[in-house]
Amino acid sequence: MIRSELIQKIADENPHLTQRHVERIVNTVFEEIIDALAKGERVELRGFGAFSVKARDARIGRNPRTGEAVKVDDKKVPFFKTGKLLRDRLNGK
Amino acid sequence: MSDKTLTRMDLSEAVFRQVGLSRNESATLVESVLQHMSDALATGETVKISSFGTFSVRSKSARVGRNPKTGDEVPISPRRVLTFRPSHLMKERVAAGKKKR
């Protein structure tokens, strides 16, 4: 499923809303999550999962092709943990 | 780093503010977004949201695990797990957020 299919499904269920409205609703949801993570906040959606930010330490990496050592700065990366309900659903419970 | 946590309520509040639907309907629509994504994933389908990220379902085979406390061997049955791969945009925005402070 891709973004446009998700929008279409919701538009079909809500004939009183325009396609444009549904697009804005769906986009707002995803933008809000990214904005929160960019601020270092967590997003917890019970039953679905939680998005958080993890810190990675600086390290000495290696260019796999040349074997050269390269400095990798410390950084923040997004992380998602699946919620219990969704995890159970994936396994047919 | 902030320890604030956003919930469904904050997402529906954002929809309410930016789209102008009632609070009630905003909440229903946020739920509907999560529900459709969950339904697709439950059938094993990949959910790809451009400029956000990709959720995909992977199958893990059975293996013998160990209780780290007691050292007992425990069988782990085959199962399906969900992985999320953030988009470049999300990775960049999260990495850049650090510098603003």
DSSP string covering A13-29: H-TTS-HHHHHHHHHHH
Q: Is the pLDDT of residue A76 over 60?
A: yes
Closest CA to B55 of B82, B90, B91: B82
Which pLDDT band, with edges at 50, 70 and 90, does B3 fall under? confident
How far apart are the C-alpha atoms of B87 and B8, rounded to whole Å?
A: 22
**B63-82 average pLDDT score:** 91
Q: Write the residue in B34, B48, B51 that is nearest to A48 by C-beta.
A: B34
A67 or A14, which is more confident? A14
Place of tokens 């444009």: A20
Closest residue of chain B to A18, computed from CA coordinates: B19
CB contact under 8 A, A90 and B41: yes
Helix or strand or coil: residue B1?
coil
Residue A3 near residue A11 (C-beta atoms within 8 A): no
**pLDDT for position B1:** 53
Chain A residues within an 8 Å CB radius of B4: 36, 39, 41-42
Which pLDDT band, with edges at 50, 70 and 90, does A2 fall under? very high
Chain A residues within an 8 Å CB radius of B91: 77-78
- Write down the ipTM of this complex: 0.89
